[in-house]
């Protein structure tokens, strides 16, 4: 699970990363990354809309994404802000495919 210092919590931060961030699209997620240059741990935010599914499905997808990002945290550069938007296909995607999409984008943009 991601600790509080590793999460984006303010709406303005989400908008900033989504608009200014380098974009990487996968089959199940779209990842936006901004390198802030600050001396702090990387922060992650998740957008899982109703188009993904009902509340149970959305929360399952969000928990999976949080687990993947917690695992990848040591390899992400300090000061990076990352927003991951789940696409509707993420609801039916196996964990391994979801993990592959996220890690590929993080390696490409945030490592």
Taking only the tens place, the pLDDT of each residue in 1-30 is 788 889 999 999 999 999 999 999 999 999
Closest C-alpha to 99, from 77, 60, 72, 59: 72
For residue 2, the model assigns a pLDDT of: 86
For residue 61, the model assigns a pLDDT of: 97
For residue 71, the model assigns a pLDDT of: 94
Topology (CATH) of 4-109: Ribosomal Protein S5; domain 2 (3.30.230)
DSSP E strands, 40-93: 43-47, 80-86
Cα–Cα distance for residue pair 66/37, rounded to 1 Å? 23
In whole angstroms, how far apart are CA 64 and each of 3, 60, 81, 95, 100?
15, 6, 19, 7, 12
Q: What is the DSSP letter of 88?
A: G
Every domain of the chain and the residues it spans? 4-109
């Amino acid at each position: 699970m991601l600790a509080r210092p590793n999460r984006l919590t303010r709406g303005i931060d989400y908008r900033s990363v989504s608009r200014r961030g380098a974009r990487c699209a996968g089959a199940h997620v779209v990842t936006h990354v901004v390198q802030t240059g600050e001396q702090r741990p990387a922060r992650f935010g998740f957008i899982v809309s109703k188009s993904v599914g009902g509340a149970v499905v959305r929360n399952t997808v969000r928990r999976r994404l949080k687990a993947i990002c917690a695992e990848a945290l040591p390899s992400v550069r300090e000061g990076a802000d990352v927003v991951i938007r789940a696409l509707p296909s993420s609801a039916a995607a196996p964990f391994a495919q979801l993990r592959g999409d996220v890690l590929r984008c993080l390696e490409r943009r945030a490592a």
